[in-house]
Amino acid sequence: MSSGVDAVVTEAELKRRLRRWRAGATAVFVVAVMTAGALGHRTTGWKPAAVTGPHLARLRISGVIGADVSRWTKALSKAEKNPAVKGLILDVDSPGGSVTGGEELHDAIEHFAKVKPVVTTMGGVGASAGYMIALPSKRIFAERSTLTGSIGVIMESPDVSGLLGKIGVNVDELVSGPLKGQPSVVKPLSPEGRAMLQGVVGNLFDQFVAMVVTGRHMPEDKVRSLADGRPYTGQQAVALGLIDALGTRDDARNWLAKTCGLSGEPDVVTIGEATRRFSLRRRLIGLFGGAVMSLTGLDPAEFLPQDSERLDGAVSIWKP
């Protein structure tokens, strides 16, 4: 009797081990396939990345622009120094974001544009800081329905002091000066603090206006009349002089190729993309979560994106 029970226990243990081995083998297989796909698929943009002859670079800015734009600025610097790169297509689909990130990216594109021509093509939206970075371009294309413009700066600070008072929570702040604690989430903004922060916003806005004046060759008074924060459709923006033409990405590419003296359909290589290792990690987490990461001995926390899109302080973003 005892031998029969032992046999059943042994068989159950063997089955459990087999299931674990199958799960592990499946995980390894999935990782291998995805790695092969990530390393084998080398196309970036319209043409393969392994282009050595004269070609155009493409920088795609999609989503909210965070404070850290170093990946893009480094890619621009490298492309600027590459003699095979004859021009840049700036592909924008962004509502804006950090004023600092937008300014840094604008300056990097402006530096590139002094050496090689830049054209911007806009997708669904190219507003606020997303419009700011397009300003150094020699020509800006957008769709008729593109939302662009929205020239302005926002600074927000939540105030939960009323809620804290209702639940009997008091917070004391010790500050070195009356404006050091402004703004604060635990007390209302003082008149002096409001005036101070409005001055900061006004100065940042003046800088944005100056970029539009320089980039679009427009009188300052006209720019200020358009810069009340509202977005414009592509069709409206053409009439107002905020962009140059209505057209597609291919229209922008063809215009730049002609400007650069490239005949036929030019090679276009995307620059500044996330690394393939990073993309693979994102796919692993998205598809299988921590289970596969644990089986492969990888730390999920290492694969999460950095908080580069966190927006603190002043922002230039269109928020519908």
Which tens digit of pLDDT belongs to each residue from 120-165? 999 999 999 999 999 999 999 999 999 999 999 998 877 777 777 7
Confidence of residue 11 (pLDDT cuts 50, 70, 90): low
Identify the pLDDT of residue 199. 93
Contacts of 267 (CB under 8 A, 6+ apart): 46, 47, 48, 51, 53, 54, 55, 56
Identify the pLDDT of residue 274. 75
Catalytic residue among 128, 137, 150, 184: 128
Mean pLDDT lowest among 11-25, 27-41, 45-59, 210-224: 27-41
Identify the pLDDT of residue 310. 56
Euclidean distance between CA atoms 184 and 201, whole angstroms:
17
Give me the amino acid identity at 52: T
State the pTM of this model. Answer: 0.74
Catalytic residue among 15, 74, 78, 180: 180
In the predicted model, is pLDDT for residue 30 greater than 80?
A: no
Euclidean distance between CA atoms 36 and 79, whole angstroms:
27
Euclidean distance between CA atoms 148 and 141, whole angstroms:
11
Q: Is 128 a catalytic residue?
A: yes
Residues listed for the chain: 320
Q: Residue for token digits 């940042």? A: 204
Q: Which residue has the higher pLDDT, 307 or 288?
A: 288
Confidence of residue 320 (pLDDT cuts 50, 70, 90): low
Residue 125 in contact with residue 95, Cβ under 8 Å?
Answer: yes
Residue 296 in contact with residue 133, Cβ under 8 Å?
Answer: no
Radius of gyration from C-alpha coordinates of the chain: 26
Q: Is 180 a catalytic residue?
A: yes
Which candidate, 101, 113, 145, places its Cα nearest to that of 236?
145
Which candidate, 136, 128, 88, places its Cα nearest to that of 229?
128
**Whether CATH 3.90.226.10 fits 45-154+226-276:** yes
